[in-house]
Amino acid sequence: MSPVGVLDMSIDELFDQFDKLRVLIVGDVMLDSYVWGRVERISPEAPVPVVTVDRRELRLGGAGNVLLNVQALGAEAIICSIIGTDAPGDQLEQELCNRGLNCDGLIRSADRITTIKERIIAGSQQVVRVDTETDKYITTDERTRLITKAKELIPTCHVVIFEDYDKGVLSKEAIAEITDFANEQGVPTVVDPKKRNFLSYQNTTLFKPNLKELREGLKVDFDVDKPEEFQAVVNQLKETLNLKGALITLSERGAYIDYKGERLKLPAHIRKIADVSGAGDTVISIAACCVALQQPPHIIAGLSNLGGGLVCESVGVVPIDKALLKQEAKESL
């Protein structure tokens, strides 16, 4: 599907164009489970607290938070992933449906367990987290099904996001075949990488690691505050993966983009930080939508950096508030 953007649109026009996008998110989708309660005694069976449950909540996790951010921007978010035929898989699919998210690319497999991360919280203190998951790569048959489904959906989409949490849905083979097909179709690919597949994202459009991922992925150390040294690492990244562009999130230092001949470092906006959880999901969602609309690098990085900072003002993982992002964009971009 050809892009719908133009380079010189206003902020109002850009935000209106978000509503016309279809965004395919390929990767690890999971459930986040929260159990809130209170501790009033220690167990007689072992020296551990007994949590009396007050309430429970299920939320979309992993690639699910990217889906919610893309949807919050006004675009149609489509998941392409593999989950189990187990009860958590049923709950995950129901959560996707309840949110009005497109599940055309969701594949269920009896040979796969669904990832669920359960957090037990007493008062404001997390007592324990229980992860039910596998990080084994999906089977050859499952991979074939995933690639086939992605290829069915890509021609109807404006951009593909690879959302990798190292849980096994994405492998070198799947990444290569999906990327090659997207490139043939003229659909840009935007990547939120993790360590295991870091060097597998060859020939993608925009690659978005944070500093830790960049250091671990390339196995290099560098001083981010020395511009020439940092740029040399970014050059190495682009050359190693044959990338069109890189967007590096720098935490409290802001963000850096090297794309379409522009190299820009943007400072972080001064915020009252409540929680950094989920900020990267917001950044990749905004960046991907801007890439789909053929926006210049300063808009891609500026708006993404702004959105990542905004969600840090909220406690917990929350999708971006489009109206607030638009208001601040008009004031600062």
Nearest of 241, 170, 153, 164 to residue 199 by alpha carbon:
241
Residue 281 annotated as catalytic:
yes
CA atoms within 13 A on the CB side of 260: 12
**Alpha helices in 163-311, H assignment, sequence order:** 172-185, 211-218, 227-241, 279-292, 297-311
**Closest to 40 measured CA to CA, from 52, 26, 57, 58:** 52
Q: Which of 28, 164, 258, 281 is catalytic?
A: 281
The closest of 109, 81, 257 to 169, measured between CA atoms, is 81
The closest of 38, 24, 69 to 283, measured between CA atoms, is: 69
Buried b (16+ CB within 10 A) or exposed e, 194-213: bebbbebbeebbbbbbbbeb
Contacts of 192 (CB under 8 A, 6+ apart): 27, 66, 161, 162, 163, 164, 208, 280, 281, 284
Q: Please name the residues in contact with 193: beta carbons below 8 A apart, sequence gap of 6 or more.
A: 162, 164, 201, 207, 208, 209, 213, 217
In the block, tokens 């309660």 appear at 37
Of 154, 116, 130, the C-alpha closest to 32 is 116
> Assign residue 327 a region: left if phi > 0, alpha if psi is -120 to 50, beta otherwise?
alpha
According to DSSP, the β-strands at 29-42 and 102-109 are unpaired
CA atoms in the 13 A half-sphere facing the CB of 118: 9
Find out whether 108 and 53 touch, Cβ atoms under 8 Å.
Answer: no
* 3-class DSSP state of 296: coil
54 by Cβ neighbours in 10 Å (0-12 / 13-18 / 19+) ranks as exposed
> Which residues are known to be catalytic?
281
